[in-house]
Copies of this chain bind each other. A is one copy, B any other.
Amino acid sequence: MKEIIFVGLGLNDEKGVSIRGLEEIKSAKNVFIELYTNLMPNFSIDNLRKISGKNPYILSRYELEEEKGEIILKAAERGKTIFLVPGDPLIATTHISLRLEAKKRKIKTSVIHGTSVISAIIGATGLHKNFSETPYDVIAQNKINGLHTLCLLDINAKKKQFLSINDALKILLDIETKRKQKLVNFDTLVVGAARIGSISQFIKADYLSDLIKTNFGGPPQSLIFPGELHFMETEALISFAKAPREIMEVKK
């Protein structure tokens, strides 16, 4: 099967990879690694060889950025291919480009996430994100600044209740009717994401009028209100989140 699995190695050494990630490495036909987009202080390729039984090909920046990862794409034509990445994969645009190209060539891609400094530093310093009770205001403020807004929707595990994307959008539309800032309406582009990192992960970017009717299944669910979109972000939303192609013209 033509396949590339991006596997995150985490922050520190070869033991930061998840159990599932290690299993995938062990059963792969081809294993590649890049070690230049991020730095893992105690990483040892020898130890990775020992625990995985594989000898990963170390990619140079040239092979990834000038040659656009052609060597990985070619390998993926021949069978399951792992691409090991420091931290959490697809934070670097290089990886997103590769994934977009794989998709064009009908190569299946998936991600086994790893630990990222973006969340780890919140825990390590205690500077948690300010989860506001007033998401409408946060979306409004971020929009002014061109920033994306991520809304993690509440769950109550004990009562098996959760706030769905659909209900969250209804609440925001209710607030809109009071506030009338033209922030959230049926034409707003929204990204819904459910069960990220699981086999049943479901992501859909669409206008609110359609997204509010989309069934995302079980929790956990999140919403993103995109700010200004870069070209590659637009392309990624169309390719990975099935956004309507016309957003390419509307947003720059």
Contacts and interface: CB of A to CB of B under 8 A. Distances in A.
Contact of A18 (B17, B88, B130, B219): B17
A57 interface: no
B157 A196 contact: no
A116 B200 CA distance: 17
A247 interface: no
A127 B39 contact: no
Given A61-B158, A200-B41, A119 B127 contact: no
A233 interface: yes
A12 B197 contact: yes
Contacts of A118: 116, 118-119, 122, 129, 150
A220 interface: yes
Interface in A205-252: 205, 218-220, 222, 224, 226-228, 230, 232-233, 235-237, 239-241
Q: Which of A11, A12, A232 has the most CB of B within 10 A?
A: A12
Nearest to A191: B125
A183 interface: no
A66 interface: no
Contacts of A15: 18-20, 23
Q: Which of A19, A37, A125 has the most CB of B within 10 A?
A: A125
A121 interface: yes
A113 B120 CA distance: 6
Interface stretch (A69-77, A141-149, A173-181): A141-149
A1 interface: no
A124 B203 contact: yes
Given A113-B119, A197-B117, A36 B158 contact: yes
A134 interface: no
5 contacts: A12-B198, A90-B124, A117-B220, A127-B191, A127-B233
> Which 8 pairs show the lowest CB-CB distances between chains A and B?
A126-B236, A90-B123, A11-B197, A116-B119, A15-B20, A113-B115, A12-B198, A36-B157
